[in-house]
Amino acid sequence: MKVVDPHIHLWDLSTGLYPGLEKPSTGFIGSNEPIARSYMLDELLSEGGDEIEIVKIVNVEAFPTDSVAETAYLQSLADRTGYPQGIVAGADLSRPDAEAMLERQASFANVRGIRQVLNMHPDPLYAYVARDYMADPVWMRNFALLGRHGLSFDLQLYPHQMRQAVDLVRAHPGIAVIVNHAGMFADRTLSGWRQWRDGMRALASSPDVAVKISGLGMLDTGWSLESIRPYVLETLDAFGCGRVMFASNFPVDKLFGTYTATWRAFAAIVSDLSDTEKQAMFSANAERIYRI
């Protein structure tokens, strides 16, 4: 199987950019001890063994202390090895100097987009951030600058924030938005399912929005083929095969299963689709959306 993996994280702890990974910690995904170490390109490319060939990758920012330094490191790696073909860089759009940051990030050859994680949650265990960035006028003005620099936006949020994100997308037509981790369905109640489903369909109503089915283990740590099947199929039904990308979220999802098991599960769930549809979700959509 050949795949383009549009959501991975490479981190070299010797750079000093990831102090949060220098010692193990525990969060809603459990302990990160197995991945609280450097995770390098050679290890990623070996994850598929003889079964999966990783043709191209998109590296997504991993909460560095210096986002430009992270991008510079990744671009240097790409210049030497050809990987990563795409970079989703970090930037804080709430800062007054965000435009200068976007200009710096866009100057790197392989940068295709920006991610600023937006996940708010009333339970501190699940909260990535404490601020409602989408209600910040400065953040909103700087979001509009993405189009000027030809940058997409990786949208990581929880379902209760999706209606707000729909307004964001509609206010800025033409900016490509990629929902991370199938919308991070955190509330596993029936009402939570409905909120996630309705939010995903509302986001999918905009042609500018695509989605990565990835990171499912973070909220389903003992996942199985049958436990993830409903989320995969519902996401496909909402977005269609033309706007869905399968992705691994490695090494984070290495905590919950192997690389091959992840891709085998995706393949099994969509086994009845056409070869063209499968190729779109396993590679072609990522190449088109991230321009790699």
Q: Which phi-psi region, left, alpha or beta, contains residue 173 (left: φ > 0; alpha: ψ -120 to 50)?
A: beta
CATH 3.30.990.10 fits 2-289, yes or no: no
This model's pTM is above 0.75: yes
pLDDT at 19: 96
pLDDT at 216: 96
- Domain positions in the chain: 2-289
Q: Which residue has the tokens 């990522």?
A: 286
Over residues 40-53, the pLDDT tens digits come to: 999 999 999 999 99
Listed as ranges, residues in the chain with pLDDT below 50 are none
pLDDT at 54: 99
CB-based burial label for 181 (10 Å; 0-12, 13-18, 19+):
buried
Over residues 153-172, the pLDDT tens digits come to: 999 999 999 999 999 999 99
Measure the CA–CA gap between 87 and 153, rounded to whole angstroms. 12
pLDDT at 5: 99
Q: Which residue has the tokens 């290495």?
A: 254
Return phi, psi of residue 78, to 5°: -65, -40
pLDDT at 40: 98
pLDDT at 198: 98
pLDDT at 185: 94
